[in-house]
Structure 1
Amino acid sequence: MLLSLLLLIPLLGALVLILWPGAPTSARLREVTIVLLAVQCVASFALLLPFDPADAGLQLVEQARWVHAIGLDYALAVDGLSLPLVLMNGVLCLVAAIASRSIDNRPRIYFALLLVISGAVNGAFLAQNLLLFFLFYELELIPLWLLIAVWGGANRAYAATKFLIVTAVSGVMILAAFLGLAFVSGTMDFSLQPIMAGELGMTAQLVLMGALLIGFGIKIPLFPFHTWLPDAHTEASTPVSVLLAGVLLKLGTYGLLRFCLGLFPEAWQLASPWLAAWAAISVLYGSLAAIAQTDMKRMVAYSSVGHMGYVLLAAAAATPLGLMGALFQMISHGLISGVLFLLVGVVYARTGTRDLNVLRGLLNPQRGLPLTGSLMIIGVMASAGIPGMAGFISEFLIFRGSLQPFPIATLLSMVGSGLTAVYFLLLVNRAFFGRLAIAPGEVVNPRILDRVALREQVPAIVLSLGVLVLGLAPELLSNLSEAATTGLSQISGGLS
């Protein structure tokens, strides 16, 4: 029942917070949430003990009949594709709770929603029934909408409503594809194994896969379905941005690999040249849009559009190296984006602005934010794919695995990788170098910024160390997932 614990700990914990008698303080609620998520994180890493990396199949399977009449059964399992994502969810949810230091408005509901999101994401990564996956996929929607709408910025209502509408469309497309799959296959069994038999005609496969592509493309998000992301990030609080970029976007890329590629390998292979072209367009658009931003948070948000395009490129190639790179990209982007959003949050809290036309000199060792600036440099170097960091490993594997089947799309994506260095260099140069001044013309008496306590930087430091460890010892992840990604490549015919 270890997998069920990963759902029960946060979901029952959320119920405990809601029913907590009296009026507990925000600090007490945060402490309880941190303890619960720490236990969940430990339980996630405990999966490594019984897990066999050499086994490409499903492990630690838990099954029980639920609403069997409609094909909805309780079926959980883990493999080399889902386990790293479960581990990352445990780490980033704990980081988000630790970073939630200034929640005074309805803290009981806020921390309960964080716990619900953590449990729902675990459920989606572990579900082995299509309807069960859909339930967990949708379960995180309302909590995240509330986190943006209630605890967001000045335009939170617009951003939250846009997020709700667009991602609801994503869920509708995914459910329609799952129901359509059951209809054309003539079965009410929504478990993955029987449906993966692949007895459908090519037209039916393309239509159903297309619906899933749109649904997961919205969630990832890929161009042109990305428009909700910059607004949501801009208005969301820092912990919510960490979850949004680090964890929730990965539901889309996970669905891309598990369901689009895994359920429809023949249709995927037929559509792969178009998918590679789509990936290159998304990478270039995200990179060019990031260059045009003057808000630090919007720049990091648009960078996610480009970096998630690499996952589509690798999935289109479906080679063993490419799929390993796709998984590496999901993990490395989760850690790196967590670092960047945490640090942007520190800058905004100390200066009151994220405008790159105003900020400068923050690396000043006496009056600025030297540790924040140093960590930011590490984060942008990792995102730009500097050797020795996790971002380099993921991009190298993706480009190496995709170059032979799709040379033009890969080269265009490599240009996008170069543009990453350009826009993040602009960010660092404008905000952290030069003479410290927080307002135009404020040169004679530059403001002395409040020091950032080390405990406030611990989450970013821990994530930065994770980026460095995976960059220097990539076998920690590759050994865990190589069998699963190679098996997925063989299903799709990507070994050719």
Structure 2
Amino acid sequence: MLSLLIGIPLLGSILIGLIPEQAGKGLHRALALGFGWVLFGLSAGLLLIFDPHLGSLQLAERMAWIPQLGLVYEVGVDGISLPLVVMTGLLVLMAIWASGQVERPRLYYSLVLMLAAAVAGAFLAQNLLLFFLFYEVELIPLYLLIAIWGGPRRTYAATKFLVYTALSGILLLIGFFGLSWLSDAHSFTYTVLQAHPLPRLSQILLLIPILLGLAIKIPLVPFHTWLPDAHVEASTPISVLLAGLLLKLGTYGLVRFGLQLLPDAWDQAGPWLAGWAVVNVLYGSLNALVQQDMKKLVAYSSIAHMGYILLAVAAATPLSLVGSIFQMVSHGLISSLLFLLVGAVYANTGTRDLKLLRGLLNSERGLPLIGSLMVLGVMASGGTPGMVGFIAEFTLFRGSFAVFPLQTLLCMVGTGLTAAYFLLMVNRVFFGRLSQVAIAMQRHATEERLPAVVLATLVVLLGLQPSWATRWVESTTLALAKANIAGVAGLVTAFQFGLSSF
């Protein structure tokens, strides 16, 4: 079944690529939507057969591929990867849905499905080289999706993304080969490497390239500069995939490769990583405060929110690890919602400039539905109780405070800054008297509306009932903490007490 999550979108990509461009108006989009629904159905179906009480790998598949090189096709799913795999199916479907009629649809939808296969494969891979293969495969479709369907500076943004992410892959490959060569097992399989831990000094040396590679992908300051450019130039559906899925490959790697495979080094680096998280949160938030482009503002907000995940994984308590995975899901849903809404504003008004927009919440001549959903989205991002953002941040802050109290308090300042810059944006764009741009616009329905409603509904539902997401994560994160963190027994009670508050 896990192989189908990779094979179905790959098959769809090939099939759509073989259909002539002139075959029929909307045919490529219809096929892409069909494959998107199948992918989402399969990923959601994992929830029916996955046992949340087991902290170990489930539904594992293994097949020899190039054993001489250590490349083995090994896939599996646990509580860390399951929520991200399900979110992959959901956001790929939402991105295809929001794409509408595009130029060169055969190439466009073929690349989107190829990207979906690569991301799903990376989350499911249980072999370092297999992960690296999928990690690199996603570069080409995303580069082309930005370079061909992006904005005026699309070539520059796509090239910058490609260079940064290629460097990220090189650093990861160095660390992966080091893990295999220095280990007694001489294997690239996660479980085998975890069973043969390296000496602390070797772990520290290997953590450096792996952490730098992941820092570029997440991205963390000062390796973040590619992200605002990529978001501003990318089309709305591609920004959804970039923020909702591609960044999560980096944060997923923090847990899988940093904490799980290099626990002693991670313990030593924890205080430094928590400090780095503070820098990321404050820098991203302060930059968001001064942006005039709505899309760039949301991009810097994403950078800030990635710092919360770094803090939680650095603390590595059972509760903070649950919070880190939940924050990945929360950020994926909220950021995708915000990018869809910004795209709808741009499609109707032709601008994202905060200086030109005003009064769009007007019920007669504005965009009342888009405005209402935007208010909901920024409230969720700012951590308003009753929404998924509050639960995710509360969990990771509560779990991190016992280990890094000062860093946690400084990161909590970021939640106040989030409320500040998003309230400024909403106040300028949606309230007040209609601006000339808003008066002159010709309102029309956009493809982003229905996907935005779906995501907004999930943001509220998971905020009101977070156990629908956390129940899949708890056993795996608790097992990971027990296996890697010394003296964790005293934290287990706090973890269980924290979850009971939900």
TM-score when scaled to structure 1? Answer: 0.96
Q: Which residue of 2 aligns with 1:246?
A: 244
Deviation >6 Å, runs of 4+: none
Are 2:261 and 1:263 equivalent residues in the alignment?
yes
Q: How many angstroms apart in 2 are the aligned matches of 1:452 and 1:490? A: 55
Q: How does 1:299-318 map to 2 (within 5 A)?
A: 299-318=297-316
User: Residue 489 of structure 1: which of 457, 460, 481 is its match?
Assistant: 481
> 2:216: which partner in 1?
218
Residue of structure 1 equivalent to 2:82: 83
CA distance in structure 1 between the aligned counterparts of 2:458 and 2:479, rounded to whole angstroms: 27
2:170 alignment partner, one of 162, 169, 172? 172
- Give the deviation of 1:199 after TM superposition: 3.6
1:461 matched to which residue of 2?
453
1-structure distance, mates of 2:392, 2:471: 14
* Structure 2 unmatched ranges of 5 or more: 492-502
Report the aligned-residue RMSD.
Answer: 1.3
How far off is 1:187 after superposition? 4.5
> Within 1, Cα distance between the matches of 2:117 and 2:436?
41
| Structure 1 pair 22–403 and aligned structure 2 pair: CA distance change class (3 A) | closer
- CA displacement 1:68-124 (0-9 Å, x = unmatched): 1111011111111111100000000000001111312x2111100000011111100
CA contact (8 A) 2:288 2:296 kept: yes
Is residue 2:461 matched to residue 1:478? Answer: no
Cα distance in 1 between the residues matched to 2:464 and 2:442: 34
Rounded to whole Å, the distance in 1 between the matches of 2:296 and 2:20 is 40
Counterpart of 1:416? 414
The offset of 1:188, in angstroms, is: 3.8
Q: CA–CA distance in 2 between the matches of 1:24 and 1:203? A: 60
Kept after mapping to 2: 8 A contact 1:384/1:421: yes
CA distance in 1 between counterparts of 2:72 and 2:151 reads 40
| 1:486, distance to aligned residue in structure 2 (A) | 1.1
SS across alignment from 2:471: helix
**Residue pair 1:313, 1:402 contacting (<8 A) in 2 also:** yes
Q: For residue 487 of structure 1, what is the amino acid of its counterpart? A: A
Indicate conservation of the 8 Å contact 1:129/1:190, yes or no.
yes
User: Structure 2: which amino acid aligns with 1:457?
Assistant: R
Q: Secondary structure at the match of 1:196?
A: helix
Tell me the CA shift for residue 146 of structure 1.
0.4
Alignment match, 1:332: 330
Letter in 2 for 1:346: A
Structure 1, residues 379-401: CA drift from partner, whole Å, max 9, x if none?
Answer: 00000000000000000001100
Residues 14-23 or 455-464, more deviating: 14-23
| Alignment map for 1:13-412 (pairs within 5 Å) | 13-21=12-20, 23-25=22-24, 27-104=26-103, 106-412=104-410
Distance change (3 Å), C-alpha of 1:452 and 1:335: farther
The answer on whether the counterparts of 2:219 and 2:306 sit within 8 Å (CA) in structure 1 is yes
**Mapped contact 2:185–2:196 kept (Cα < 8 A):** no
Determine the C-alpha separation between the residues in 1 that align with 2:445 and 2:301: 28
Deviation at 1:356, TM superposition (A): 0.4
Give the secondary structure class of the aligned counterpart of 2:48.
coil
Distance 1:119 1:438 in 2: 44
- 2-side partners of 1:236 and 1:454: how far apart? 17
Cα offset, 1:450, TM superposition: 3.1
Instruction: Find the aligned partners of 1:436 and 1:480 in 2 and give their Cα distance.
Output: 46
Separation in structure 2 between the aligned mates of residue 26 and residue 280 of structure 1, nearest angstrom: 50
SS of equivalent to 1:250 = helix
CA separation of 1:316 and 1:27: change in aligned 2, threshold 3 A: same
SS at match of 1:361: coil
CA–CA separation in structure 1 for the residues paired with 2:25 and 2:184:
52
- Could you tell me whether the CA contact under 8 Å between 1:268 and 1:492 is conserved in 2? no
Residue 22 of structure 1, CA deviation: 6.3
Task: Assess, with a 3 A threshold, how the Cα gap between structure 1 residues 347 and 455 changes in structure 2: closer, same or farther.
Answer: closer
Q: Indicate the larger mover: 181-190 or 405-414.
A: 181-190
Instruction: List alignment gaps of at least 5 residues for structure 1.
Output: 440-445
Q: Give distance in 1, aligned partners of 2:24 and 2:325.
A: 40
Distance 2:159 2:367 in 1: 35
Structure 2 counterpart SS, 1:48: helix
Alpha-carbon shift at residue 456 of structure 1 (Å): 4.3
Structure 2-normalised TM-score?
0.95
Distance 1:26 1:126 in 2: 35
Equivalenced residues, count: 488
Counterpart amino acid of residue 12 in structure 1: L
Q: Is the 8 A contact 1:198 1:264 kept in 2?
A: no
Deviation at 1:417, TM superposition (A): 1.0
CA contact under 8 A between 1:332 and 1:467: conserved in structure 2?
A: yes
Q: Relative to structure 1, is the Cα distance of residues 199 and 322 closer, same or farther in structure 2, using a 3 angstrom cutoff? A: closer
**TM-aligned CA distance change 1:448 to 1:213, over 3 Å:** same
Secondary structure class of the residue paired with 1:447: helix
Check 1:337–1:26 CA distance in 2 against 1; reply closer, same or farther (3 A cut). Answer: farther
Counterpart amino acid of residue 356 in structure 2: V
Amino acid at match of 2:79: G
Following superposition, the deviation at residue 201 of structure 1 comes to 2.1
- 1:210 Cα deviation after fit: 1.3
Deviation at 1:438, TM superposition (A): 3.5
- Percent of residue pairs identical: 57
Report the residue type matching 1:33 in the other structure.
Answer: A
Post-superposition shift, 1:186?
A: 4.9
1:60 partner amino acid: L
CA distance in 2, matches of 1:14, 1:278: 39
